[in-house]
Amino acid sequence: MLGFAALIGAIVLLDRGAEPEASPTDGTSTTDPAADATLDPLPTTIPEQYAAPPPASDSLDRDWDVTLTTNVGDITMVLHGADAPQAVANFVFLAREGFYDGTACHRLMPGALLQCGDPTATGTGGPGYTWGPIENAPEDDLYPAGTVAMARAGNDGESMGSQFFLVYADVPLPSDEAGGYSVFGEITGGMDILQQIGAGGVDPNSVGADGTGRPASDVIITGVEVE
């Protein structure tokens, strides 16, 4: 990922007159699968929508072990409630509600990260609410391999919802006007699976101006176990 700007669902923010920059974003999609008849639609779900996020105190100021089961293998993570209480409470709540079950990881930034958590698989979906502010963003704008972080809309630190990204190679993500991205956990197993997904590249029919797009092979979350 070279020169990134913002990412919560799957968005590429472009500065007028500048080269396209890929970034983790929520609320906007860089590519519209429905606009390309050569693309089979990704699986979508219609989960319950909620009025408000859970309280940050639900993170219990502790670590949570998570198993993300996908059609290509399990990815395990540990979430740090003490470091990012709202992000962790949000993820644990949605996971236990089955919100992520059946959702597709809709955006791949080759050589950097995989973005998931949107039930519409477009980069614009969420749980019916947004939240903020940003928590636990790295001061140096560097996101090492293994990082689990929230995607968000560009320049809006109150726009986080359900979308998150999994970093499988060290990547710089420059802060925007709102800051960086909420880091709420780390990958503890399945990094080889993410690297294989990354090596497979982006579906050529879905590539946006920033080089991101759908993974060449569909990645579907079939269940999430939280302990």
The domain limits of the chain are 8-31+52-226
- 193 backbone dihedrals φ, ψ, rounded to 5°: -65, -45
What's the pLDDT score for residue 35? 41
* Bridge partners, residue 116, by sequence: 164
Query: Which CATH code for domain 8-31+52-226?
Result: 2.40.100.10
Contact at 8 Å (CB) between 205 and 33?
no
Q: What distance in Å separates the CA atoms of residue 64 and residue 43, rounded to the nearest whole number?
A: 28
What's the token pair of residue 129? Answer: 């609410």
What's the pLDDT score for residue 30? 39
One digit per residue, pLDDT tens: the chain, 227 residues?
333 333 433 333 222 222 334 677 765 443 444 444 467 889 999 999 999 999 999 999 999 999 999 999 999 999 999 999 999 999 999 999 999 999 999 999 999 999 999 999 999 999 999 999 999 999 999 999 999 999 999 999 999 999 999 999 999 999 999 999 999 999 999 999 999 999 999 999 999 988 999 999 999 999 999 99
Class of residue 203 by CB neighbours under 10 A (exposed 0-12, middle 13-18, buried 19+): buried
pTM: predicted TM-score of the whole model, two decimal places = 0.87
